[in-house]
Amino acid sequence: MIRSLRRMVEPGRRVATCLLVAAVLMLWFGCDAERRKSDAELGLNPQQAAGRRVYDRHCDQCHEPYSTSGRRGPGLKGVFKKQYLSVSGLPANDERVSEIVRLGRSKMPAFNQTLDQQQIQDLLVYMHTL
C-alpha cells in the first residue's frame, strides 16, 4: 500500500518541483522584463508619440530605448543627456543625430530614403524623452 502511494505522490512531487524551478527562473531572469508603457503613461505629447512610432518601426530592432545596453547598436537611454554619443564620440545634439539617421554611420543604414524630414524631427523629439 505504501509503495503504491509513493508511486502516486512522486509524479506530483516532480511536477511541483518543476513548477517551483520554473517560477524561480522566471523571477530571476524575468526581472528586467517590464510591461510596455503607453504614450499617456510616459506623458508623451502628439509629436513625441509620432516619433515613438517611427522609433518602434525603424530603430527598436537594433537600439534599446530605455537601456544603455543595445541589441546590434548602442542603447539610447539618455542619449541627449550626455555631451557626446557613446560610440562615435560626436556631439550628442539634434544636428549630429539627425545626420546619422539620414546618412547612416558604420553598421547603421541610412534612412534618408525611408523617412521624411518630419518623421526624423518627430523621432528626435521622442529621443529627447529617453
Amino acid identity of 101?
V
8 A C-beta contact, residue 79 and residue 93: no
Does residue 73 contact residue 86 with C-beta atoms inside 8 Å? no
The pTM for the full model equals 0.70
Which pLDDT score, from 0 to 100, does residue 33 have?
47
Single-letter code of the amino acid located at 103: L
State residue 44 phi and psi, 5-degree precision. -80, 135
Residue 86 has pLDDT above 60, yes or no: yes
CATH top-level class of 39-127 = mainly alpha
pLDDT band for position 41 (50/70/90)? Answer: very high
